[in-house]
Amino acid sequence: MGSVVCHRRYHHNYYVHKESSLRTYYGGVPDVVQVAQHFFIESALLELFSNCMAFGWLSGTNCARIYNEALSSPHSNILNNKLAFSAIYHNSRHFTPEDWSVTRLIRKEDTMNGFFLYSLLLDKAEQGSVLILPHDEASQRDRLQPALAERNSAMEGTGQECYAHACDLCFHIFENENGQLMKIQAAACDGNTIGHRSCKVHNCKNPLPSLRHHFCPAHQHLRLKCAVVDCPSDHALGHRTCDDPDHRALETAYFRRGNAMFQLRARLKKAGVAVPNDSVPVRDASEDDDEVVFEMGPSGPIELDVDDCDGKPETGNRRLRAIFEGRWTHNEQLIMRPCGVILSRATLFGSEAVSAVNTFAKATFPTPESTPEFFIFDNNCKLDAHQRAINDKHFENTGKPVDVFHFRCKHKLTDLHCQRYCNPAAFPEMIGPDGKWRFNTSICEQTNVWFGGYIAMVRDMEVTRYNFFLDEMIKRRNRYVVSELRAKGYAPWTIPMKAIFPTAMRA
């Protein structure tokens, strides 16, 4: 429908002005969302998909499959079980016309585009604004990209809806020895090996042109180099390494391992054991290893665990690192309250370096008023040493204990810095009147069980969608956690933002 007076063409969810190439969506969230040019999905169904992703780790593919099998027909229970309903099966088929010009089935693309558009509409409605997208784009994926990137920027650091959360599990008031009331807030930090595809140059944060590329535009010239890290030579024709015999032996060993994995999978398939492609619990070495490490011994290359290869080999053998396929970011870092509410998330590209964790923590707690009394991190001894070495006093009033489990099991008694500054027993404020720990210092380990469930879903997502998706999952989970805290009597509340950012509020 169009108007010759206001020069606008009105569509189901939005209008386009004659002299503009923008889609301006109507205020609020519609009952039916146009997710593609000729495809509409009810908001109630998109809400179901969103919750399936948040609490069931269902991918877009599996959401579409469940809908197509169970909800797309009025009598799916009958149509899916022909033998059980043989008496009425043929009558039920008449409710599913076979001569429709459009399909009633949902594709993965419709599910994911619907999720992203619906989430954007919700976000704008919560802010009291409207969604504006480019109209003349080749695809819905491209059309959504600018708005997704804008929301991603707003989420960085302090942007999560529950950032100012407090409750009886994470915020304590006690009386000190002088009779003054003091507050204690704690935050915990940990990493999870979820990641997205990235440039093969270590710690490069430039986005890839597409998932098929291994290098960003600035490093495309390196695609001709040998796959062995730091080798300056070009790879030989038909190979991924140069003519160095050790490098070629490493390549042979790597792909022999890949072929062995393929053969094992083929045997499983022949034996009737399914290996689904929709949900991959770990990265397949034959397809997409990030980095491999081999030790060159007298009998040839021996593969080592990447995580155990920080130091020099004790045997005197030479170690070679290589990246034969694509590279993924190192991990996602989370900062959360001991009650389980996640405050922020950041992607660490090259490694879980304490300098990167320090930068992330400062972005999450940018003002003195926002810093917690205790920051719990399993590598706090090195983080604290790093801050002292660079004279960074941002967290000088924050205690940095290691969580109880890691301190007992993974920190040496001979580490004097750790024993002096990071021993949880050295902070009596963390122990309540009943002699128990005030805070759940292992909350990150527990939360990672949930967060790690997305590794298969996001491993090949484009980076903008990847960041938006994870932030949206955290937002939805936080709402559920807060509702559970309220139901269990832990009295959740929101700290006034002017108490956390007083300078910004005055400005």
Render pLDDT for 419-458 as a digit per residue (tens, 0 to 9): 666 777 778 787 878 878 888 878 888 899 999 999 989 9
> What pTM was estimated for this model as a whole?
0.85
Most distant pair of Cα atoms in the chain: their distance: 84
Angstrom distances, CA of residue 30 to CA of 190, 401, 403: 39, 48, 46
Based on the fold, state whether residues 120 and 225 are members of the same structural domain. Answer: no
- In this prediction, residue 261 carries a pLDDT of 52
In a domain, 82, yes or no: yes
Based on the fold, state whether residues 145 and 173 are members of the same structural domain. Answer: no
- In this prediction, residue 104 carries a pLDDT of 80
In a domain, 208, yes or no: no
Based on the fold, state whether residues 177 and 229 are members of the same structural domain. Answer: no
Based on the fold, state whether residues 219 and 177 are members of the same structural domain. Answer: no
* HEC sequence for 332-372: EEEEECCCCCEEEEEEECCCCCHHHHHHHHHHHCCCCCCCC
Name residues of the chain where pLDDT drops below 70: 1-7, 92-101, 257-291, 293, 297-300, 302-318, 403-421, 504-507
Residue ending a domain, choose from 155, 179, 205: 155
Q: Number of folded domains in the chain? A: 3
Domain range spanning residue 98? Answer: 2-155
Contact yes or no for 36/104 (Cβ under 8 A): no
In a domain, 206, yes or no: no
Based on the fold, state whether residues 312 and 402 are members of the same structural domain. Answer: no
End-to-end CA distance of the chain: 46
Dihedral angle, C-alpha 216, 220, 224, 230, nearest 10 °? -60
Based on the fold, state whether residues 64 and 33 are members of the same structural domain. Answer: yes
Based on the fold, state whether residues 118 and 90 are members of the same structural domain. Answer: yes
**Region of 132 on the Ramachandran plot (φ > 0 left; ψ -120 to 50 alpha; else beta):** beta
Residue ending a domain, choose from 328, 349, 382: 328
Residue 106: both structure tokens together: 């949902």
- In this prediction, residue 431 carries a pLDDT of 80
Residue ending a domain, choose from 268, 299, 328: 328
Residue 267: how many other CB atoms lie within 10 Å: 10
- In this prediction, residue 451 carries a pLDDT of 94
Based on the fold, state whether residues 20 and 115 are members of the same structural domain. Answer: yes
Based on the fold, state whether residues 133 and 255 are members of the same structural domain. Answer: no
User: What's the CA gap between 497 and 429, in Å, rounded?
Assistant: 25
Based on the fold, state whether residues 7 and 129 are members of the same structural domain. Answer: yes
3-state secondary structure of 245: helix
Q: What are phi and psi of 90, to 5 degrees?
A: -65, -35
In a domain, 209, yes or no: no
In a domain, 203, yes or no: no
In a domain, 224, yes or no: yes
- In this prediction, residue 446 carries a pLDDT of 85
In a domain, 258, yes or no: yes
Based on the fold, state whether residues 177 and 312 are members of the same structural domain. Answer: no
Q: What is the pLDDT of residues 36-92, one digit of tens each?
A: 888 999 999 999 999 999 999 999 999 999 999 999 888 888 888 888 888 887 776
- In this prediction, residue 357 carries a pLDDT of 95
Dihedral angle, C-alpha 384, 390, 393, 398, nearest 10 °? -10
In a domain, 263, yes or no: yes
Based on the fold, state whether residues 12 and 106 are members of the same structural domain. Answer: yes
